[in-house]
Amino acid sequence: MKPALNIKSVNKKFDGTVALDDFSLEIPQNSITGIIGPNGAGKTTLFNVITGFLPLDSGKIIYNGKNLSRMPSYKIARAGIARTFQQLRLITRMTVLDNILLSFQNQAGEYLKNTFLFPGRVKKQERKNREKANELLAFMGIEEKAGDLVEDLSYGQQKMISLACCLASGADLLLLDEPVAGINPSMIEKILMVIKKLPEAGKTFVIIEHNIEAVMRVCDRVIFMDEGKKIAEGDPESVRHDPAVIEAYLE
Which of 1, 16, 39, 120 forms a contact with ligand ADP (CB under 6 A)? 39
Q: Closest by alpha carbon to 61, among 201, 192, 186, 206?
A: 206
44 near ligand ADP, rule: CB under 6 A: yes
Distances (CA, A) of 239 to 47, 87, 131, 220: 21, 28, 42, 11
19 near ligand ADP, rule: CB under 6 A: yes
Contact 227, 21 (CB under 8 A): yes
Smallest separation, CB 6 to ligand ADP (Å): 20
What span, in angstroms and rounded, lies between the C-alpha atoms of 27 and 33?
Answer: 7
40 near ligand ADP, rule: CB under 6 A: yes
Which one of 37-45, 117-125, 182-190, 191-199 is the stretch in contact with ligand ADP (CB under 6 A)?
37-45
Which of 31, 33, 44, 103 forms a contact with Mg ion (CB under 5 A)? 44
Which one of 43-51, 75-83, 166-174, 195-203 is the stretch in contact with Mg ion (CB under 5 A)?
43-51
Which one of 42-50, 72-80, 136-144, 232-240 is the stretch in contact with ligand ADP (CB under 6 A)?
42-50
Q: Which does 41 bind (CB under 5 to 8 A by kind): Mg ion, ligand ADP, none?
A: ligand ADP
Residues 6+ apart with CB under 8 A from 80: 63, 64, 170, 171, 172, 173
Which one of 40-48, 63-71, 137-145, 191-199 is the stretch in contact with ligand ADP (CB under 6 A)?
40-48
Q: Which is nearer to ligand ADP, 21 or 220 (CB)?
A: 21
Q: Which does 45 bind (CB under 5 to 8 A by kind): Mg ion, ligand ADP, none?
A: ligand ADP
**C-beta atoms surrounding 75 within 10 Å:** 12
Q: Which does 191 bind (CB under 5 to 8 A by kind): Mg ion, ligand ADP, none?
A: none
Which one of 7-15, 36-44, 54-62, 118-126 is the stretch in contact with Mg ion (CB under 5 A)?
36-44
Q: Closest by alpha carbon to 178, among 202, 197, 155?
A: 155
Smallest separation, CB 179 to ligand ADP (Å): 14
Residues that bind Mg ion (CB under 5 A): 43-44
Residues that bind ligand ADP (CB under 6 A): 14, 17, 19, 37, 39-45
